[in-house]
Structure 1
Amino acid sequence: MGDYYQGEYIQQYLCNINLRKKIKELLKEKTEILQKLEQLEKDGNNQSFEERKKRLRSLASEIQRNFECPLSRCGKKYGSEGSLNQHIKLKHPELVNKS
């Protein structure tokens, strides 16, 4: 029975050694990735990811509103057909249900 426990001990010991190797490899990889990230941030014109991600939007006064709500009493106008359709779905569901 002593041999069984000794065999188990050796297996656990070897697994532990393999896990330690893997942890060292992963820590090294993490360090390399962090160094690459720092370099990319330095090379990226000092802009953070959030700043580069922002899109330019038109001012409300600059939008041409060519799409008008079909209900005469509403009078709303929108800059895109998608915006008009969303308005109709939200504010005039009776028009959607007719179709």
Structure 2
Amino acid sequence: MMSVLRQVKELLKEKSEIQQKLDTLEKEGNNHSFEERKKRQRSLASEVQRNFECPINMCGKKYGSEGSLNQHVKLKHPELVNKS
């Protein structure tokens, strides 16, 4: 019984030490919460320059990156991908 009480006391002491370390880190500003982290600034759809146009004549879709155009072609015009 005494060993259990001693273990509980040791665990409570360890918990207190960890809490003190955490409080110190928060005061120093090294521990940012999820809300405080900077998020990546994304461009609005209206701000994207669309220089990559779909090669299908009647499609007329334009994209801001070559990767986006390639994805469009694979999904919407698989006949172009199968020819290559």
Superposed pair shares fold, TM > 0.5: yes
Give TM-score scaled by structure 1 length. Answer: 0.57
Give identity over the alignment, percent.
Answer: 77
Runs of 4+ in 1 over 3 A off after TM superposition: 30-47
**Displacement of 1:38:** 4.8
- Whether 1:74 aligns to 2:59 is yes
Which of structures 1 and 2 has the larger relative contact order (alpha carbons within 8 angstroms, sep 6+)?
2
* Distance (Å, rounded) in 1 between the aligned partners of 2:30 and 2:18: 19
Give TM-score scaled by structure 2 length. Answer: 0.66
**Gap runs ≥5 in structure 1:** 1-16
For residues 32 and 45 of structure 1, do their structure 2 counterparts lie closer, same or farther at Cα, with a shift above 3 Å needed? closer
- State the aligned residue count: 77
Report which of the two has the higher share of helix: 1
1:4-19 counterparts in 2 under 5 A?
A: none
Kept in 2, the 8 Å contact 1:67–1:79? The answer is: yes
Kept in 2, the 8 Å contact 1:41–1:48? The answer is: no
Aligned counterpart in structure 1 of residue 33 of structure 2, from 30, 44, 48: 48
**Displacement of 1:52:** 1.5
Alignment RMSD (CA, Å)? 3.0
**Displacement of 1:49:** 2.0
For residues 51 and 92 of structure 1, do their structure 2 counterparts lie closer, same or farther at Cα, with a shift above 3 Å needed? farther
